[in-house]
Amino acid sequence: MPSIQTLLLLLLALGAGAVVPLQAGTNALLGRGLGHPLWATLVSLLVSIAVLLPLLLALRVPMPSFAFAAKAPIWVWSGGTYGVCFISLALILAPKLGVSGFVAAAVAGQMLASLALDHFGLMGLTERPLNPGKALGALLLVAGVVVLQVFSSEVAPVVQRAGA
């Protein structure tokens, strides 16, 4: 039986997941309004900075370790690239697949990548070997994506640029 702390952490993770379709929907509308998904991606990231900077100041978060920055492997700086990729693809795909189709596929992709990261202990993470239960869960997620798409209406046509 999970502890209360674990249940609270799972609820927070559930909340984090709940904002993904909201982000996909609002950014898709923003992309249509601005005329291109990349403009919406830029605006989304600038808004992120505008929200994050005051939060860092309000919480009095100490300055980062620049010693780490000098020694860190180059791949640790790639997180922003993944964010641009995710936001841009959400902008392009959510209107075509529907938010539920996009999010389901994204979650399945996250699960498959997470299983690989855990199993091999990549990126400095603790090794957590794949087992039959985890594999079954991932297969059920992928099956859920297929079921969602089979029972969804047709894929929407390519989104036109605003004013086109």
> What is the domain count for the chain?
2
User: Do residues 74 and 131 both lie within one domain?
Assistant: no
User: Do residues 77 and 104 both lie within one domain?
Assistant: no
User: Do residues 42 and 68 both lie within one domain?
Assistant: yes
The reply to whether 4 falls in a domain is: no
User: Do residues 22 and 75 both lie within one domain?
Assistant: yes
Per-residue confidence band for 124, with pLDDT thresholds at 50, 70 and 90? confident
Domain that holds residue 141: 98-151
User: Do residues 87 and 116 both lie within one domain?
Assistant: no
Give the global pTM: 0.76
User: Do residues 116 and 75 both lie within one domain?
Assistant: no
User: Do residues 28 and 38 both lie within one domain?
Assistant: yes
State how far the alpha carbon of 159 is from the alpha carbons of 34, 83, 139, 155, in Å.
Answer: 12, 22, 31, 11
- With a pLDDT cut of 70, the percent of the chain lying above it is 93
Among candidates 112, 109, 87, which has minimal Cα distance to 22? 87
User: Do residues 61 and 93 both lie within one domain?
Assistant: yes
Per-residue confidence band for 17, with pLDDT thresholds at 50, 70 and 90? confident
Distance from C-alpha of 54 to C-alpha of 45, rounded to nearest angstrom: 15
Helix and strand numbers (H, E) in the chain are 6, 0
The reply to whether 88 falls in a domain is: yes
User: Do residues 67 and 132 both lie within one domain?
Assistant: no
Higher-confidence residue of 1 and 156: namely 1
pLDDT at residue 70 in the model: 86
pLDDT digits (tens, 9 = 90+) for 51-96: 999 999 999 999 988 898 889 898 888 988 998 999 999 989 988 8
User: Do residues 92 and 105 both lie within one domain?
Assistant: no
Per-residue confidence band for 161, with pLDDT thresholds at 50, 70 and 90? low
Query: For the chain, what is the radius of gyration of the CA atoms?
Result: 19
